[in-house]
Amino acid sequence: MNDPSRQRPLSPYMLGPYYRFQITSLLSISGRITGMLLAAVTLPALLAWLLALAAGPDSFAATQAWFSGICGKLVLAVSLLCLSFHLLNGLRHLAWDAGKGFEMASVRASGWAVIIGTFVLTALVWWCAS
């Protein structure tokens, strides 16, 4: 009757000491979050830049000055990080759609490859653009 395993919650949605995040759940949530950030931050920033380009040299220079500041660079860095992650995680899902990589070892390895690749790709693109 005093068995401790019967006293703990059964639902994995009860965050706390009973549920451990796994790399698969972390990447799934991160994929959704990066998709929302790309739609809410990156797309409007890109549209603002394109509209400034179409509006003329003065508008474009002002927009370029904003993107050269700390806030603009932060928007660009977050956007690039989100785009890199979303791209690599999307390629991982395409491999799954093709029926590849469903073994747990492959799932974990591809998950870590997405995480490491995100930072490498982001740094490489940022370095090339600088």
Distance in angstroms (rounded) separating the CA atoms of residues 87 and 96 = 14
pLDDT bin (cut points 50, 70, 90) of residue 20 is: confident
Q: Give a yes or no: residue 109 inside a domain.
A: yes
Q: Give a yes or no: residue 45 inside a domain.
A: yes
Q: Which two tokens stand for residue 106?
A: 């492959």
Q: Give a yes or no: residue 4 inside a domain.
A: no
Q: Give a yes or no: residue 68 inside a domain.
A: yes
CATH number at residue 98: 1.20.1300.10
Q: Could you read off the pLDDT of 55-107 as tens digits, one per residue?
A: 999 999 999 999 999 999 999 999 999 999 999 999 999 999 999 999 999 99
Mean pLDDT across 18-28: 83
Would you say 92 and 110 are in contact if contact means Cβ atoms under 8 Å apart?
yes
Q: Could you read off the pLDDT of 110-124 as tens digits, one per residue?
A: 999 999 999 999 999
Distance in angstroms (rounded) separating the CA atoms of residues 115 and 108 = 11
10-to-5, 13, 50 alpha-carbon distances in Å: 10, 9, 51
DSSP conformational letter for 8: S
Q: Looking at residue 22, what is its pLDDT?
A: 86
Would you say 81 and 88 are in contact if contact means Cβ atoms under 8 Å apart?
no
Q: Give a yes or no: residue 13 inside a domain.
A: no
Q: Give a yes or no: residue 72 inside a domain.
A: yes
User: Which residues span the domain enclosing 35?
Assistant: 23-129
Look at 109 and 16; give whichever has higher pLDDT.
109
Residue 16: helix, strand or coil by DSSP? strand
Q: Give a yes or no: residue 18 inside a domain.
A: no
86 is in an annotated binding site: yes
pLDDT for 1 beyond 60: no
DSSP conformation letters of 31-81: HHHHHHHIIIIIHHHHHHHHHHHHH-HHHHHHHHHHHHSHHHHHHHHHHHH
Per the structure, how many domains does the chain have? 1
Would you say 75 and 43 are in contact if contact means Cβ atoms under 8 Å apart?
no
Q: Give a yes or no: residue 102 inside a domain.
A: yes
